[in-house]
Amino acid sequence: MSLHVPPRAARVAVQAMAFAVWCLAIPLAKAQHVSVRSFGEAEGLNEEAVWHLAQEPEGFLVVGTESGLFVFDGRIFFRLGTEQGLPLHIGVRALITTPDGRIAMADDHRVLLSRTAADAVHPIPTLQFDDVTPAGRSRDQTFHGLLWWHGSLLAQLGGRIVPVGSARMSPLPDVLRSIGNVSGMAAHDDTLWIGTTDGRLCRMTSTTADCQQTADPVSHGPPDDWAAVAIGKDGTVYARSAHHFASRPAGATTFRIESITDDRVGDGFQNHVRLTIMPDGTVVTEALGRLLVRSGSSWRILNLPPECAGGVASALLGGRDGELWVSLPGNGLAEVANFGGIENFAAADGLDVGEIWQIVRQDHGLLLIGSSRGVVRMGVTGDPLFRLAPDPASYMVQSSIDGQIWASHGINQVVNLSPSGQIQHSFQVSGLHQLLLDRDKVLWLLTAHGLDHIDTAASEPRTVQPDPHLRTPLLAGLRDSSGRLWLAGPDRLLLRWPDGRVETLLDHWPSADFLPATLVEIGSDHVWIAGSGGLMSIVRTAPNHASASPVAGPRILGRTFYSLVRDNAGRIWAGTDHGVAAFDGQRWINVSMNEGLVWNETNEFAIFIDTDETVWVGTSRGLSHFTRPELLFRHRDLQAVVSSIQIGAHAFRGRAVPFSYDPVMIRFTALDLPRAHNLHFRYRLAGVDQDWIETSSNFARYPSLPPGHHDFSVVAFDPMTGDQSAPAHILLRMRMPWWRWWPVEALYGLLTGLALLTVLHLRGRMLKRQRRILQQTVEQRTLELEAARAALEHEARTDSVTGLLNRRAIQQHLSEHLSGVNFASGRGHHRVANNEPSLPCAVALLDIDHFKRINDVHGHLVGDQILREMGERLGAFLAPEEFCGRYGGEEFLFISGLAGQPGMQRLIALIQSLTQVPFGHGGAPIHITLSVGMATVQPSDNWETVISRADKALYDAKAAGRDRIVEAA
């Protein structure tokens, strides 16, 4: 049996690359729409012509383009280049991963093989490639394919198979040498399958070869070029040419040939035929903007989005987690979200009905769809659509057991349609919000004015019957398993029993901004209710009483709920303004366009659990069918990896790096490519970060890295499901700068010690010098102070005219002398220290005779000059033990250490020295005479009594005629 597809009426123009293309002319209703996530220049794939795809064991996607090799971690493409041993520009013509995880690639003239598999924690920088091109290759021969078989790397070169690399077959089996015109090849266990350009499909072992010549059983045209060969896990062999698809189950002896198209295309197309096998055994090949999917013996057509259509799929790959990767020229790389688990139907697939609202399944198997363009009936997937009631919009639709259809026309009319779509009855209502059809064939109408119903089993005429006990606006309702109606209004929740009793469970909502839209039964007396403002749980605790609480924990992307349903497995499905949220009793998941939903915005009543437990979802732009809903809850272990570390302009490769102040960029991911966009991360750099840092991005940036060893840890987690990876660790080692090496630091210490000693020495010298200067300064200041004090004291004790002691000083001197006189012999003697013999002591008052006359005749200046010269003569005459001072005016006090006759003689000598020589003043000499009163110190004397006796003697001398000495008695 062959799948024969006539050509489409509207041909697609051949692209500028001159690749011949083919297309399918299957009725539109048979095609299904798929959602994709596209990756290109924004993610780092600056070369969008992707020709080959492979996946290494850790999960990274390896992407070969016209100008280079990239590694994709789910978010970012990393270009491999000279640092990995690759040429700066290389056009990838073949790309595989070996069983041990190494990457092999070829361009036109060389083959390169990575030395090891990528590291599990830090994969990209550890990749290093070697050139393993076989010697002796002719320059006009180019490589077209690679394969690992029997521990050797085989290359397709010039239509022949040649071994390459260090682990080559030696020698190459003759059976392989005998096969020419090789176009495609695949291996399974010990068997190698080869497709040729002359229509052969050959089964090879190391010793035998079995080739079959294939031909189209209908047209018997030219031989096929089997450019793509693949082998399933069950041993089924698949091959693809531009015109045919061949399959041979394990154990079979012949191939089944199926015609793909009647379009005859040029040989240039053969190089771009692609074929891949998904992990579940589904076979996928490509068409012009479409994918052909073969499960078992049946085919499905998947329409790619418009931005991906219009070109030949240059690469296909079934990922290890069931995702499908597709590359189309000029459109980068695309991931078909939830491939095999979600079918989509949109306008491009023939479902041109506008917004899709309520969905129900009729008993005879047809699917009814209420849409903005009326009621549509659809059979099993692939059957044509039949529009029952094209106008107006049908937001709500129900089907009774007898096949009758009840639908809304707008919000003010309910119609009853026959199975063929004829309107049998029409009912006017006001502000219809929901239709509920129970098993008793009663159709309940929830309106802006209350609860109405229509008895669909009643005989003519049928009428709308209002419930007199429920005349309050109703927005949403639910008929539970006990036949009760849960009815939600703008400000209350009511419960209507089958006998008509009504309970008011809530007379207001816990949140003022809550507006109900949908309810679902969770258990006996337990419902969930949702709408604008969130999701809450309602439990009836007693008649006319219920408790309400928010449903804890869901991290739902949408903020407004439109529908809630519960499947037989107990899972809750919620339609929101941002896709579908689902809860399996343990965790929530989100399904949006990123996960394969046809459109993010769902509608009211637009989730339907089918009889086979699949889930239908209506959106504003099409219909999605979750064919395997359990896959959405599939738990996959997360594995965090560090994709790359960049220090400045250099990549970190695990070895210690020289110290620098360059910024550090660390990129990380989790090897779960289908949900990489949903993952968050926590990371911490020991010694730098105090706590774990959480981020939704996939990088961490540090201004610089301190020297030393730093453990970088990263954990990936899914905030919706709660899945979390084990920490991935990588040790960042930055060498100490040369100025922190221990010899340098020791030198620093030595120099610092020497500098400290030098400073201490200089400081000591400076302190000594300062101390010496200070001491000299102090001594100088002391001398100056002493001199000043002496000067002041001298000034205080000296008469300013004569230069002799003044009266106070001479009296003090006399007093001090008298305190040391010894009178043991009855005569005055001066006591000396150390018991030496005492000396006699006498005082005398000397008065210049007629001194006033001198002042009057010669003037006071002359008088002062005579006094000054008098002082000089007295000073010159005095012996060391003698003192003299001016006692007042022209009187002088003389103290002598001699008493009695010696004292008298000394006094006479003094007077002679003063009077024998006249005093000169610039004029005629002046002769003076002196009157003297002398007193010898007595035992009872003090200075006053001595002076008093001397003064009386002076008085007596003057009275006796002056110019004489009188000694006191």
What pLDDT digit, counting tens, does each position of 875-912 carry?
899 988 888 999 988 999 999 888 888 888 988 999 99
Neighbours of 210 (CB within 10 A): 11
Q: What is the pLDDT of residue 484?
A: 95
Token digits of residue 145: 């394919």
Give the residue with greater pLDDT, 529 vs 162: 529
Count other C-beta atoms under 10 Å from residue 435's C-beta: 22
Residue 596 binned pLDDT confidence (cut-offs 50, 70, 90): confident
Model pLDDT for residues 382-426, shown as the tens digit of each residue: 455 666 666 678 889 998 877 788 999 989 999 998 877 788 889
Long-range contacts of 169-177 (CB under 8 A, 24+ apart): 173/206, 173/207, 175/204, 175/205, 175/206, 175/207, 175/208, 175/209, 176/204
251 with 236: CB under 8 angstroms?
no
Percent pLDDT > 90 in the chain is 35
pLDDT category at 286 given cuts 50, 70, 90 is confident
* Helix (H/G/I), strand (E/B), else coil: 459: coil
State the sign of the Cα–Cα–Cα–Cα dihedral 617, 623, 628, 630: negative
Q: What is the DSSP letter of 740?
A: G
Among 3, 103, 125, which Cα is nearest to 56's?
103
Q: Say if residue 10's pLDDT is above 80.
A: no
- pLDDT band with cut points at 50, 70 and 90 for residue 348: confident
Residue type at position 404: Q
Q: Would you give the end-to-end CA distance of the chain in angstroms?
A: 180
- Average pLDDT in the chain: 84
Question: Stretch 350-358: mean pLDDT, rounded?
Answer: 86
Phi-psi region of 235 (alpha: psi -120 to 50; beta: other; left: phi over 0): left
Give the pLDDT confidence score for residue 653 in this predicted structure.
Answer: 80
Q: Which amino acid, 895?
A: I
Q: Is the pLDDT of residue 495 over 90?
A: yes
* Highest-pLDDT range among 159-163, 432-436, 745-749, 860-864: 432-436
Alpha-carbon gap, residue 605 to 360, rounded angstroms: 10
CA angle 449, 450, 451 (to 5 degrees): 140
Model pLDDT for residues 652-677, shown as the tens digit of each residue: 888 888 989 999 999 998 877 777 77
Report the amino acid identity of residue 322. Answer: G
- Of the two residues 845 and 310, the one the predictor is more confident about is 845
Average pLDDT over every residue of 283-292: 82
Q: What is the pLDDT of residues 92-115, one digit of tens each?
A: 999 999 988 899 999 988 999 998
Residues linked to residue 129 through DSSP beta bridges, in sequence order: 114
500-529: average pLDDT: 94
Query: Which residues in 781-790 are b (16+ Cβ under 10 Å) and which e?
Result: eeeeeeeeee
Q: At what angle do helices 860-877 and 851-858 cross, to 10 degrees?
A: 130
pLDDT of residue 881: 83
Highest mean pLDDT among 42-46, 453-457, 472-476, 579-583: 472-476
- Residue 388: burial class (beta carbons within 10 Å; 0-12, 13-18, 19+): buried
Q: Which of 707, 939, 717 is nearest to 829 (CA)?
A: 939
Tokens of 934: 């002398």
- Residue 124 pLDDT > 90: no
pLDDT at 83 over 60: yes
CB 175 within 8 A of CB 188: no
DSSP string, 877-944: H--TT-EEEEEETTEEEEEES--HHHHHHHHHHHHHHHHSSPBPSSSS-B---EEEEEEE--TT--HH
User: How confident is the model over 142-159, as a mean pLDDT?
Assistant: 87
Q: Per-residue pLDDT averaged across 11-35, rounded? A: 39
Q: Alpha helix (H) ranges present in 17-120?
A: none
Report whether 627 contacts 339 (CB < 8 A): no
Return d(Cα 309, Cα 321) in angstroms, integer: 25
Q: For residue 561, report the phi and psi dihedrals to the nearest 5 degrees.
A: -100, 140
Please give the full DSSP string across 303-333, using - where no structure is assigned: EPPGGG-SS---EEEE-TTS-EEEE-TTS-E
Residue 508: per-residue pLDDT: 93
What average pLDDT does the segment 127-151 reach? 84
**Global model pTM greater than 0.85:** no
Q: What is the pLDDT of residue 793?
A: 80
User: Cα–Cα distance between 726 and 767 in angstroms, integer?
Assistant: 67
Average pLDDT of the residues in 672-690: 87
